[in-house]
């Protein structure tokens, strides 16, 4: 067995160091690169690479811990990547008797007392100052580590745990004191702007290793305009009336939920999907809410199309066959799995997060996909909220509910 590594992966391995962030596009091979760094530079071991070289015992062996998503742990993707390097969860069969442990972020606290190992943190989950971040700090102080992420941060505050772990700041308070200006008129602390951003850019460049892959896939983004009930939308917006439960709307959050429901619950989205399915046959469909899932289920059952689901309740595998639908909820399944049996994703409704959109899009944009042309169909109406979300995502930004509420006087 030989490991296959591209030139850009080998270059990234050479640039990585303890505490680095390996940043590469979704499906660019960050996992294999991260294990390569562990094997060659951390443990000073050797395996056959691209048909040359040989297997050699590690001069500085240390156990490997991989903290990843629950789905990626359960689908054994990391086990396959490690096996290429002759690394296994069974110590007796693993090169230099190192033990590989693969677990989810939900269990990170179990590993706070590990010392002298190497950790790969897969996907950026280190936001805020909760239990996961505290466990990460404990691990980072006692072990070597790298983090793999296609989208490590949307704003400077997302980098705080990584900056602190690298010793750039004492803690979150130190970062806030040096670089954050908070809004004085909010109930909860809200960063109004950042100062000293040039310094932050320099610090980020010290730990960020950008992996430029040369995939030949071409993404075709098609924006499909669908209908919405304008009168119902106005009823909800102007009268603050819930037409589904026939009662007043008291909370702004509920108001936004309902105007999105007016848009996403429109049957024109099913008609648009049907045209795509008849043409493409096999489609992954991303959605937000349960009422969308119910519409999609009903459509699949009425037309006889095979379908499977990935959401908070069901974790089904990808369907097989000549025609199928894979119904995936953004929040539950936008990352940690891949598919090379279709070239089509339908965004049945829009997510608020550009990061989530990019992660979802990457499910089919993999290094080993047989397709060169990939098709993404983004459904949106001309309703004000749909347009506002679309504009933010187009600019690679997140949609802000509070800003929308303020601008619309809600």
The string of pLDDT tens digits covering residues 164-200 is 999 999 999 998 898 888 877 666 777 778 888 999 9
Q: Largest alpha-carbon pair distance within the chain?
A: 73
d(CA 240, CA 252): 9
- Assess whether the region 7-211 and the region 218-407 belong to the same CATH fold: yes
Average pLDDT over residues 98-105: 93
Higher pLDDT, 337 or 272: 272
Tokens of 334: 């936008």
Q: Is the pLDDT of residue 242 over 70?
A: yes
pLDDT at 410: 63
d(CA 5, CA 25): 16
Angle at 207 between CA 206 and CA 212, to 5 degrees: 100
d(CA 247, CA 240): 9
Angle at 80 between CA 210 and CA 32, to 5 degrees: 15
Q: Is the pLDDT of residue 267 over 80?
A: yes
Q: Is the pLDDT of residue 372 over 80?
A: yes
d(CA 242, CA 249): 6
Q: Is the pLDDT of residue 77 over 80?
A: yes
Q: Helix (H, G, I), strand (E, B), or coil: what is residue 201?
A: helix
Single pTM value for the model: 0.71
Average pLDDT over residues 338-354: 94
CA distances from 41 to 10, 25, 35, 118 (A): 11, 23, 10, 11
CA distances from 92 to 81, 89, 96, 123, 176 (A): 18, 9, 9, 29, 48
CA atoms within 13 A on the CB side of 156: 21
The H or E element spanning position 64 is strand 64-68
pLDDT at 401: 83
For the chain, the structural domain boundaries read: 7-211, 218-407
pLDDT at 253: 85
Question: How does pLDDT run across 318-332, given as a tens digit for each residue?
Answer: 999 999 999 999 988
pLDDT at 237: 86
Higher pLDDT, 143 or 335: 143
Percent of the chain with pLDDT over 90: 59
Q: Is the pLDDT of residue 32 over 80?
A: yes
Q: How confident is the model at residue 381 (pLDDT cuts 50, 70, 90)?
A: very high
Q: Helix (H, G, I), strand (E, B), or coil: what is residue 123?
A: coil
Q: How confident is the model at residue 217 (pLDDT cuts 50, 70, 90)?
A: confident
Q: Is the pLDDT of residue 245 over 70?
A: yes
pLDDT at 29: 83
pLDDT at 409: 64
Q: Is the pLDDT of residue 128 over 70?
A: no
Whether domain 7-211 has CATH 3.40.50.720: the reply is no
pLDDT at 225: 97
pLDDT at 193: 83
| Topology of domain 218-407, CATH | Rossmann fold (3.40.50)
pLDDT averaged over the chain? Answer: 89
For CA atoms 245, 249, 250, 251, give the dihedral sign: positive
Contact assessment for residue 60 and residue 96, using Cβ atoms and an 8 Å cutoff = no
Q: Is the pLDDT of residue 279 over 70?
A: yes
Q: How confident is the model at residue 72 (pLDDT cuts 50, 70, 90)?
A: confident
CB neighbour list of residue 217: distance below 8 Å, 6 or more residues apart: 365, 369, 371, 372, 373, 374
d(CA 380, CA 224): 6
Q: Helix (H, G, I), strand (E, B), or coil: what is residue 15?
A: helix
d(CA 29, CA 4): 10
pLDDT at 1: 60
Count of H-run helices and E-run strands, the chain: 16, 16
CA distances from 40 to 45, 50, 87, 119 (A): 5, 14, 13, 15
Q: Is the pLDDT of residue 215 over 80?
A: no
Average pLDDT over residues 387-404: 89
d(CA 408, CA 410): 6
pLDDT at 388: 93
Q: Is the pLDDT of residue 397 over 90?
A: no
- In order, the DSSP letters of 301-360 are HHHT-EEEEESSS-BPPPP-SSSEEEEEEHHHHSSS----S-SEEEESS--S-HHHHHHH
Question: How does pLDDT run across 47-60, given as a tens digit for each residue?
Answer: 888 888 888 999 99
d(CA 390, CA 255): 19
Contact assessment for residue 143 and residue 114, using Cβ atoms and an 8 Å cutoff = yes
d(CA 239, CA 233): 10
Q: How confident is the model at residue 140 (pLDDT cuts 50, 70, 90)?
A: very high
d(CA 232, CA 209): 49
Pick from 39-53, 118-132, 236-250 the range whose average pLDDT is largest. Answer: 39-53
- In order, the DSSP letters of 223-276 are EEE----HHHHHHHHHH-EETTTTEE---HHHHHHHHHHHHHT-THHHHHHHHH
């Amino acid at each position: 067995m030989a490991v296959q590594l591209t030139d850009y992966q080998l270059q990234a391995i050479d640039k990585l160091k303890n505490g680095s962030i390996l940043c590469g596009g979704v499906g660019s091979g960050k996992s294999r690169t991260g294990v390569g760094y562990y094997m060659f530079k951390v443990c000073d071991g050797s395996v056959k690479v691209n048909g040359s070289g040989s297997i050699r015992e590690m001069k500085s062996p240390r156990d490997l811990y991989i903290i990843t998503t629950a789905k990626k742990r359960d689908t054994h993707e990391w086990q396959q990547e490690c096996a290429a390097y002759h690394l296994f969860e069974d110590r007796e069969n693993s090169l230099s008797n190192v033990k590989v442990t693969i677990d989810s972020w939900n269990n990170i606290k179990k590993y706070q007392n590990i010392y002298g190992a190497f950790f790969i943190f897969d996907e950026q989950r280190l936001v805020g100052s909760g239990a996961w971040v505290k466990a990460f700090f404990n691990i980072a102080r006692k072990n070597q580590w790298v983090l793999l992420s296609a989208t490590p941060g949307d704003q400077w505050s997302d980098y705080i745990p990584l900056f602190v772990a690298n010793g750039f700041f004492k803690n979150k308070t130190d970062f806030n004191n040096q670089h954050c200006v908070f809004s004085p008129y909010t109930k909860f602390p809200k960063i109004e702007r950042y100062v000293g951003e040039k310094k932050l850019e320099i610090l980020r460049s010290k730990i960020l290793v950008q992996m430029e892959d040369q995939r030949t896939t071409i993404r075709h983004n098609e924006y499909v305009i669908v209908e919405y009930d304008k009168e119902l939308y106005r009823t909800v917006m102007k009268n603050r009336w819930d037409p589904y439960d026939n009662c007043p709307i008291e909370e702004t959050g509920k108001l936004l939920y309902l105007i999105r429901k007016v848009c996403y619950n429109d049957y024109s989205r099913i008609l648009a999907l049907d045209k795509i399915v008849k043409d493409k046959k096999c489609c992954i469909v991303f959605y937000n809410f349960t009422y969308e899932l119910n519409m999609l289920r009903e459509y699949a059952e009425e037309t006889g199309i095979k379908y499977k689901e990935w959401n908070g309740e069901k974790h089904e595998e990808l369907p097989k066959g000549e025609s199928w639908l894979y119904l995936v909820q953004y929040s539950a399944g936008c990352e940690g799995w891949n598919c090379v049996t279709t070239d089509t994703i339908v965004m049945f409704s829009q997510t608020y997060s550009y990061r989530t959109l990019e992660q979802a899009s990457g499910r089919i944009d993999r290094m080993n996909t047989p397709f060169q042309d990939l098709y993404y169909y983004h459904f949106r109406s001309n309703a004000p909220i749909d347009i506002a979300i679309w504009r933010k995502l187009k600019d690679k930004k997140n949609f802000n509910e509070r800003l929308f509420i303020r601008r619309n006087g809600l």
